[in-house]
Amino acid sequence: MSDTEERAPLITPALPSNRSDYGTGDNARDAMSKFVVNNVAGESGRKLPQYIAGLAASGGALAAGTFLGWTAPTDKPLTEQGEYGFPISDEQFSWIGSISNLGAALMCFPIGYMMKMIGRKWSMLTMVLPLVLGWLLIIFAENVAMMMVGRLFLGIGGGAFCVAAPTYTAEIAQPSIRGTLGTFFQLMVTVGILFVYAVGAGVDVQVLSIICGVIPLAFGVIFFFMPESPYYFVEKGRYSEASSSLKWLRGAQYDEAAEIEDLKQADEKVKAEAIPMLVAFRQKATIRALIISLGLMFFQQLSGINAVIFYNSAIFASANGGKEMSSASIIVGGIQVVATLVASAVVDKVGRRILLLASDLMMAVSTILLAVYFQLKQDDPSKVDDLSWLAVLAVCLFIAMFSIGYGPVPWLMVGELFANNVKAFASPLAGVFNWLLAFLVTKVFTNLKDAMGEAGVFWLFSGISLLGTVFVFVMVPETKGKSLSDIQRLLAGEKLNSEQVSVEAREEERVPQVA
């Protein structure tokens, strides 16, 4: 695997028209979705249209996954084989790989304002433009500068999707399927990364970039026919359009009056409780939520994920008799997808805190094993001839445990820890911090490796993961099964009555989620 696969982050920070024609085709859509009629906790309406809209929105996550994974299969062809006809040094490629993180960080706040001004749907459709422009600059690049600008545009578009798509999905889904639809985004990001790894193993860089450039176009065509978030229409006082949107999402026979009323009340509550940023950050609950969120982002990015991805090709080659395995990155991508599926299935059963503790502890164990492996290899390469299997096991274990816990859970908890009246500016702050850390780690990792050696890097990351385990144990509360108001009281230092918690959690689950 290339020496910059660490520049393909496995996570992504995860934050926060006229509808008169949407009614056409309702009968066909209803016929198609009759078999998924569901009634849970008083819910009615079709579920299939919501799954369709959720999957369509997650097409943006697929596009984001392709730009995150692109650097892995393109490093050697560009830096060593000169596929594009102009020289690219390792230092220049480190900028090509990392600058997209800066583009993503730049969009965390602006996309929130865009979603309020022009809606969730059109904000995502607008982001097709920087994605297509970015891929065109890369496809027809004549120098390093064109590639860097292209990657910056990809970061802008992909980073915006990381905020807008989860928001849209949460707002269109009924409570009984909101959790399932919420997992689509992270899953599709990992599928996008795996897709690039697999295709990149068989085609040159330009063909790979052309294929990646088609994905946002396909997303735009499909998502154009999806409805706008009904909450956006309520937010703007456009209630008839909100009604049409709900009819599309729930079926033509759905009585949307009660849900429209719930959306109105949720919107009024958010507006009534709005407070200035400086006032919010004087509140104990907000301060603690910010410390936890930024701490989780810090330990996520400095867990060693980039180092493990960087070295997995060499480790797999060592286990393969010294021959490089082109399938190494595909194996890693496959583990990501499977582990993310597992995480989506157990996060609401096991709990966030347990997953984080188990994830960080096992990542520490994995990096300790890798540190010992590289230390022995440095002292006497013959000592590790029979230990390659252990290093491969450590890599696979690390990737799996990261994807189950520290990959997706910090983003999930950011959405739970902040009160609705501070979420609009607190969640993007956590996103900016994460993307900036991703830029820093991917940019300086090679320098860190040169200064400390391979073993030293893994000893450092194992120590950070152990500190992260302590941080979770001491600072991070369990949010599973608690309402947002319960979580705020918990963060403020209040003790909760377990019976009251369960009642309020059930009641809050019925209330529509808002951005």
We report the CATH number of the domain holding residue 461 as 1.20.1250.20
Q: Which residue has the higher pLDDT, 345 or 464?
A: 464
Same domain, 187 and 48: yes
Average pLDDT over residues 406-416: 81
| Nearest C-alpha neighbor of 168 from the set 132, 118, 217, 131 | 118
**Distance from C-alpha of 510 to C-alpha of 515, rounded to nearest angstrom:** 16
Tokens linked to 155: 């970061």
Report pLDDT digits (tens) over 274-291.
Answer: 777 777 777 888 889 899
Report pLDDT digits (tens) over 440-459.
Answer: 888 887 788 888 888 888 89
Q: For residue 259, is it within any domain?
A: no
pLDDT value at 166 more than 80: yes
How many Cβ atoms from other residues are within 10 Å of residue 71's Cβ?
A: 26
Average pLDDT over residues 362-369: 93
Report pLDDT digits (tens) over 227-268.
Answer: 999 988 998 999 999 999 999 999 888 888 888 888 888 788
Q: Classify residue 34 by its DSSP letter.
A: G
pLDDT value at 182 more than 80: no
Which of the residue ranges 16-20, 170-174, 198-202 has the most confident prediction, judged by mean pLDDT? 198-202
Same domain, 309 and 168: no
How many Cβ atoms from other residues are within 10 Å of residue 289's Cβ?
A: 27
Q: How confident is the model at residue 319 (pLDDT cuts 50, 70, 90)?
A: low
Q: How confident is the model at residue 18 (pLDDT cuts 50, 70, 90)?
A: very low
Q: Percent of the chain, pLDDT > 90?
A: 30
Same domain, 176 and 79: yes
**Distance from C-alpha of 489 to C-alpha of 126, rounded to nearest angstrom:** 39
User: Among 159-163, 274-278, 285-289, 318-322, whose mean pLDDT is lowest?
Assistant: 318-322
| Residue at a domain's end among 191, 211, 226 | 226
User: What are the C-alpha distances in Å from 238 to residues 168, 229, 457?
Assistant: 17, 12, 55
pLDDT value at 156 more than 60: yes
pLDDT value at 394 more than 90: no
Q: For residue 84, is it within any domain?
A: yes
Same domain, 308 and 448: yes
Q: Over the chain, what is the mean pLDDT? A: 81
Q: For residue 416, is it within any domain?
A: yes
| Residue at a domain's end among 480, 495, 510 | 480
Please tell me the predicted confidence (pLDDT) of residue 322.
57
Q: Which residue has the higher pLDDT, 98 or 134?
A: 134
Same domain, 186 and 334: no
Report pLDDT digits (tens) over 71-88.
Answer: 888 888 898 888 998 999
Q: For residue 63, is it within any domain?
A: yes
Please tell me the predicted confidence (pLDDT) of residue 357.
94
Please tell me the predicted confidence (pLDDT) of residue 225.
95
| Residue at a domain's end among 226, 253, 288 | 226
Average pLDDT over residues 212-234: 94
Same domain, 327 and 179: no
Q: Which residue has the higher pLDDT, 348 or 370?
A: 370
Q: How confident is the model at residue 129 (pLDDT cuts 50, 70, 90)?
A: very high
Same domain, 182 and 322: no
Q: How confident is the model at residue 474 (pLDDT cuts 50, 70, 90)?
A: very high
User: Among 50-54, 64-68, 315-319, whose mean pLDDT is lowest?
Assistant: 315-319
DSSP string of 187-237, one letter each residue = HHHHHHHHHHHHHHTTS-HHHHHHHHHHHHHHHHHHHTTSPPPHHHHHHTT
Q: How confident is the model at residue 298 (pLDDT cuts 50, 70, 90)?
A: very high
Distance between first and last Cα of the chain? 40
- How would you label 9-24 residue by residue, b for 16+ Cβ within 10 Å and e otherwise? bbbbbbbbeebeebee
**Distance from C-alpha of 462 to C-alpha of 481, rounded to nearest angstrom:** 32
Q: For residue 54, is it within any domain?
A: yes
Same domain, 441 and 372: yes
Average pLDDT over residues 141-166: 92
Same domain, 71 and 201: yes
pLDDT value at 336 more than 80: yes
Tokens 């596009």 belong to 63
Average pLDDT over residues 307-333: 69
Torsion of CA 21, 171, 297, 294, to 10 degrees: 120
User: Among 12-26, 101-115, 244-258, 460-474, whose mean pLDDT is lowest?
Assistant: 12-26
Q: For residue 339, is it within any domain?
A: yes
**Distance from C-alpha of 146 to C-alpha of 84, rounded to nearest angstrom:** 12
Q: How confident is the model at residue 310 (pLDDT cuts 50, 70, 90)?
A: low
Same domain, 404 and 297: yes
Q: For residue 79, is it within any domain?
A: yes
Length of the chain (residues): 515
The number of distinct structural domains making up the chain is 2
Same domain, 301 and 171: no
Which residues, 6+ apart, have CB-to-CB distance to 121 below 8 Å? Answer: 17, 168, 223, 226, 227, 228, 229, 232
> What is the enclosing helix (H) or strand (E) of 370?
helix 352-379
Please tell me the predicted confidence (pLDDT) of residue 304.
81
Q: How confident is the model at residue 148 (pLDDT cuts 50, 70, 90)?
A: very high
Cα torsion 401, 166, 45, 222: sign:
negative
Q: For residue 98, is it within any domain?
A: yes
Q: Containing domain of residue 444, as a range?
A: 277-480
Same domain, 295 and 214: no
pLDDT value at 429 more than 70: yes
Q: Which residue has the higher pLDDT, 409 or 10?
A: 409
Q: Yes or no: say if 38 and 176 are a contact pair by the CB < 8 Å rule.
A: yes
